């Protein structure tokens, strides 16, 4: 595990071993100083998240969903919360969730807002931490999608910002279908 | 503490009203409610207005239309439960002893604000990945079908039943009955839901005049209906994924209402429930404890939820048939309960009902089971 340096100099709860956030111990990119990279001038070449508060994208193109873990009772939440609904504690760590999950249910959406090209598959994905994430399902035909299938997170193009910057977001694909980076 | 009674109700025809707006629809409903109550409008001491997308001070525009001024009025927004929340606020003001006569109005001119699938607030993380309300319910339908074996045809029967009831309601958006085959052949919106599984984009308004015991005895005449409970809850933030085929929020809101009214679900004679989609009626009715979990689709097939059945559900036509002008919906449900309980429901009259229940559930926010849920219990 490579520590992620923060601009404010405080320890990073994501990688603090005292927290035992075991789900964060995998797949961290070996890209030393995230903060410096994000604020660098070569931003145009780095992927930009469509929702930075909920989905973190690293310079190497990998991405993680962000949430909270209650230090008192261990409950996990998506998105980041100010307090735990289980124990009402406010001592919450920011965590990166696992990139694998199981499909709870899904629909093929055929009518949506102009921001989304239809049809697309939308599903609820249960992550090992015990959070359920709504996500589009990609990487397979709609006919192949089934309740209970194993999925993994993929970073994919997700529209553009108002100034035209291409954005990336998350979709889940059938496990094993994500091309190795 | 005083009890709360409904002494007058009114509503516009629900449908598409291209030449109207939310304020004049609301005013029409309010004037009818005042007339129905048979009271001098100057007796109204306060008002609450439920709407979602109609902009600032819509309630004040309604009062201006009907010549009422100088009243305390609050506009309330709770998504599809906005109108029901206005009813609750009015009842609380009376129970608190602050007012004796309060108007609740719900209105929406939705056709000028929305087309097609409703979505959560654009800032919501789920809206950002493509959530639409039909898609959310479609996902619940798929899961329910997988868990219980409900067939697509059984689900369609909910819409068929409600459209049949709507055909007998002169104020309903849709007056034409449909068949199971038509539901299955209608345009797919979000699999497995088709167009005819969905409530339409509707304009309309409804109003009710609520009063204290004291005023009910003086002015209510023989047509008073008691509002025995009006409960409101916000959904829990889940600490772990829970079943999406059952509605703990609906159950909790209903239990609070049953306790307040001093009745059990087995005593409910009929109900108006929030059937924004065919699957929603299934989830709601079971959440309310009116039918056992997993058994409602079969009950609909056997006619148990028909007018004249064991427990009629959505005699008005529901949101699917009567229409769903968001802010108007919760008040319109109370209008239906009052008319049924008074025996004034015409061709769709349920035989001799005594206790009616109305349920609304509105809004979608990431990570919570439901945003705003209301249950009203009315007793004749």
Cα A5 to Cα A36, A61, B276: the distances in Å are 9, 18, 48
Residue B150, phi-psi category: left (phi > 0), alpha (psi -120 to 50), beta (remainder): beta
Q: Give the closest of B130, B142, B237 to A112, CB-based.
A: B130
* pLDDT tens track for A65-109: 999 999 999 999 999 999 999 999 999 999 999 999 999 999 999
CB-CB neighbors (< 8 A) of A136 in chain B: 129-130
Q: Is residue A16 part of a domain?
A: yes
CB-CB neighbors (< 8 A) of A154 in chain B: none
What element of type H or E holds B161? helix B152-167
pLDDT at A40: 41
CB-CB neighbors (< 8 A) of B249 in chain A: none
pLDDT at B35: 97
Q: What is residue B302's three-state secondary structure?
A: coil
Per the CB < 8 A criterion, the answer to whether B56 and B36 are in contact is no
CB-CB neighbors (< 8 A) of A112 in chain B: 117, 119, 130, 132, 135
Using DSSP bridges, classify how beta strands A120-126 and A76-77 pair: parallel, antiparallel or unpaired: unpaired
Share of chain A above pLDDT 90, in %: 69
Q: What is residue B226's three-state secondary structure?
A: strand
Q: Is residue A73 part of a domain?
A: no
Residue among B107, B105, B106, B109 at smallest CA distance from B19? B109
- Tell me which chain A residue has its CA closest to the CA of residue B192: A107
- Among B49, B80, B276, B373, the one annotated catalytic: B80
pLDDT at A25: 36
Q: Is residue A85 part of a domain?
A: no
- Tell me which chain B residue has its CA closest to the CA of residue A136: B129
Secondary structure (DSSP) of chain A:
-PPPP-TT-S--TTT-GGG--GGGSS---S-S-HHHHHTSGGGGGS--BSSTTTEEE-TTS-EEEEEEEETTT--EESS--SS-TTT----EEEEEPPSEEEEEEEEEE-S--TTSPSPEEEEEEE-TTS-EEEEEE-SS-GGG--TT-EEEEEEEEEEE-TT--EEEEEEEEETT-SPP-
Best of A75, A107, A153 to mutate (most B CBs within 10 Å, chain B): A107
Q: Is residue A2 part of a domain?
A: yes
Min distance B117 CA to chain A CA atoms (Å): 6
What ipTM goes with this model? 0.92
| Cβ burial, residue B187 (10 Å; 0-12/13-18/19+) | exposed
Q: Give the closest of B116, B129, B240 to A111, CB-based.
A: B116
Domain count, chain A: 2
Q: Is residue A138 part of a domain?
A: yes
Share of chain A above pLDDT 70, in %: 73
Q: Which domain holds residue A27?
A: 1-46
Q: Is residue A87 part of a domain?
A: no
Q: Which residues, given as ranges, of chain B have pLDDT below 50?
A: none
Rounded Cα distance between B46 and A111, Å, is 41
pLDDT at A33: 43
- Which of these ranges, A21-30, A113-122, B234-243, has the smallest mean pLDDT? A21-30
- Tell me which chain B residue has its CA closest to the CA of residue A73: B239
Q: Say which residue the tokens 């001038």 belong to.
A: A41
Cβ distance of A75 and B240 shorter than 8 Å: yes
CB-CB neighbors (< 8 A) of A129 in chain B: none
Cβ distance of A108 and B190 shorter than 8 Å: yes
Cβ distance of B129 and A136 shorter than 8 Å: yes
CB-CB neighbors (< 8 A) of B133 in chain A: none
Question: Phi and psi dihedrals of B347, rounded to 5?
Answer: -65, -15
| Cβ burial, residue A98 (10 Å; 0-12/13-18/19+) | buried
pLDDT at A26 over 70: no
Q: What is residue B193's three-state secondary structure?
A: strand
Q: Give the closest of B189, B238, B366 to A110, CB-based.
A: B189
Using DSSP bridges, classify how beta strands A100-109 and A120-126 pair: parallel, antiparallel or unpaired: antiparallel
Residues of B with CB under 8 A from a CB of A: 116-117, 119, 125-126, 128-132, 134-135, 138-140, 142-143, 146, 187-193, 236-241, 244, 366-367
Same domain, A104 and A40: no
pTM confidence score: 0.90
Rounded Cα distance between B217 and B110, Å, is 38
- Tell me which chain A residue has its CA closest to the CA of residue B145: A105
Q: Is residue A104 part of a domain?
A: yes
* pLDDT tens track for B303-325: 999 999 999 999 999 999 999 99
Rounded Cα distance between B367 and B35, Å, is 44
Across the A:B interface, residue pairs with CB atoms under 8 Å apart total 105
pLDDT at A166 over 70: yes
pLDDT at A44: 54
Rounded Cα distance between B112 and B12, Å, is 17
* pLDDT tens track for A132-146: 999 999 999 999 999
Residues of A with CB under 8 A from a CB of B: 50-51, 54, 73, 75-79, 81, 84-86, 104-113, 116, 120, 122-124, 126, 130-132, 134-136, 147, 169-170
Q: Which residues sit opposite A13 in a β-bridge? A: none
- Tell me which chain A residue has its CA closest to the CA of residue B117: A112
- Tell me which chain A residue has its CA closest to the CA of residue B146: A147
Per the CB < 8 A criterion, the answer to whether B324 and B200 are in contact is yes
Cis peptide before A119 (omega within 30 of 0): yes
- We report the CATH number of the domain holding residue A144 as 2.40.50
Cβ distance of A51 and B125 shorter than 8 Å: yes
Would you state the structure tokens that stand for residue A112, as one six-digit string?
Answer: 């949506």
pLDDT at A178: 55
What element of type H or E holds B234? strand B225-234
Does the annotation count B373 as an active-site position? no
Min distance B291 CA to chain A CA atoms (Å): 24
Q: What is residue B122's three-state secondary structure?
A: coil
Q: Is residue A63 part of a domain?
A: no
């Amino acid at each position: 595990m490579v520590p992620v340096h923060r601009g404010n100099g405080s320890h990073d709860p994501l990688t603090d071993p005292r927290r035992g956030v075991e789900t964060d111990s995998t797949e961290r990119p070996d890209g030393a100083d995230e903060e410096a990279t994000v604020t660098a001038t070569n931003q145009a070449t780095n992927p930009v998240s469509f929702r930075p508060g909920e989905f973190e994208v690293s310079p190497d193109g990998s991405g993680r969903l962000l949430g909270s873990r209650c230090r008192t009772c261990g409950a996990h939440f998506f998105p980041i919360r100010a307090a735990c609904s289980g124990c009402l504690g406010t001592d919450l760590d920011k965590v990166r969730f696992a990139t694998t999950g199981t499909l709870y249910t899904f629909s093929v959406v055929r009518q949506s807002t102009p921001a989304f090209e239809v049809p697309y598959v939308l599903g609820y994905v249960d992550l090992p931490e015990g959070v359920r994430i709504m996500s589009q399902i990609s990487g397979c035909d709609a006919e192949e999608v089934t309740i209970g299938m194993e999925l993994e997170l993929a970073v994919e193009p997700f529209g553009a910002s108002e100034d035209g910057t291409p954005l990336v977001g998350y979709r889940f694909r059938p496990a094993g279908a994500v091309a190795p980076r | 503490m005083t009890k709360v009674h409904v002494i007058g109700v009114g509503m516009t025809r629900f449908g598409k009203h291209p030449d109207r707006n939310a304020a004049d629809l609301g005013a029409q409903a309010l004037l009818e409610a005042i007339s129905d109550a048979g009271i001098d409008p100057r007796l109204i001491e306060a008002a609450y207005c439920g709407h979602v997308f109609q902009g600032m001070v819509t309630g004040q525009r309604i009062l201006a239309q009907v010549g009422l001024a100088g009243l305390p009025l609050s506009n309330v927004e709770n998504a599809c439960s906005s109108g029901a929340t206005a009813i609750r606020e009015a009842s609380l003001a009376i129970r608190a002893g602050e007012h004796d006569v309060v108007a609740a109005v719900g209105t929406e001119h939705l056709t000028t604000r929305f087309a097609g699938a409703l979505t959560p607030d654009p800032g919501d993380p789920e809206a950002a990945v493509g959530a639409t309300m039909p898609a959310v319910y479609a996902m619940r339908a798929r899961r329910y079908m997988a868990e219980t074996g409900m067939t697509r045809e059984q689900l369609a029967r909910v819409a068929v039943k409600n459209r049949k009831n709507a055909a007998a309601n002169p104020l309903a958006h849709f007056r034409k009955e449909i068949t199971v085959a038509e539901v299955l052949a209608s345009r797919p919106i979000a699999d497995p839901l088709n167009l005819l599984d969905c409530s339409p984009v509707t304009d309309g308004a409804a109003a009710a005049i609520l009063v204290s015991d004291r005023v009910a005895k003086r002015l209510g005449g023989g047509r008073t209906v008691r509002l025995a409970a009006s409960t409101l809850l916000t959904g829990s933030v889940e600490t772990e994924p829970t079943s999406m085929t059952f509605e703990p929020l609906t159950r909790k809101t209903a239990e609070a209402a049953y306790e307040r009214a001093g009745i059990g679900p087995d005593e409910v004679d009929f109900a108006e429930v929030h059937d924004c989609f065919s699957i929603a009626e299934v989830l709601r009715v079971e959440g309310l404890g009116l039918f056992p979990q997993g058994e409602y689709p079969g009950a609909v097939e056997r006619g148990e939820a028909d007018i004249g059945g064991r427990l009629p559900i959505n005699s008005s036509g529901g949101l699917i048939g009567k229409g769903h002008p968001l802010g108007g919906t919760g008040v319109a449900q109370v209008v239906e309960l009052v008319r049924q309980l008074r025996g004034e429901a015409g061709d769709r009259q349920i035989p001799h009902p005594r206790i009616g229940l109305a349920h609304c559930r509105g809004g979608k926010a990431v990570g919570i089971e439901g945003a705003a849920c209301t249950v009203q219990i009315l007793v004749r």
